[in-house]
Amino acid sequence: MRLRWSALVLLLAGAAGCPPKVLGGAPEPVPLGQEVVDPVSGARCVRDPSTESAVYMDRNHYFCAAGNRLIFIGDPERYAYHR
């Protein structure tokens, strides 16, 4: 997988406990207990406090698995608007 430098820096920041942001501002989060769709896998899951997330272009994106978040951060343009 080819990562951009900015994505790699963000991955390392995430590993250091920084907020899970990619780009953009701070949009309103989806309420806990609401169903969300993972943009990478297309799977549906219910948002809870442990749900992985990232912000891209002023929009929250939620993931059913941590690996999907890493895939998204590596190439957000590919997944952000296709589901």
Query: For residue 68, what are the domain limits?
Result: 5-79
Stated pTM of the model? 0.67
Tens-place pLDDT, residues 57-74 = 889 999 999 999 999 999
Rounded Cα gap, residues 22 and 73, in angstroms: 7
pLDDT-above-90 percentage for the chain: 59
Q: How many domains does the chain fold into?
A: 1
Q: Are 60 and 69 in contact (CB under 8 A)?
A: no
Q: What Rg, from alpha-carbon coordinates, does the chain have? A: 12
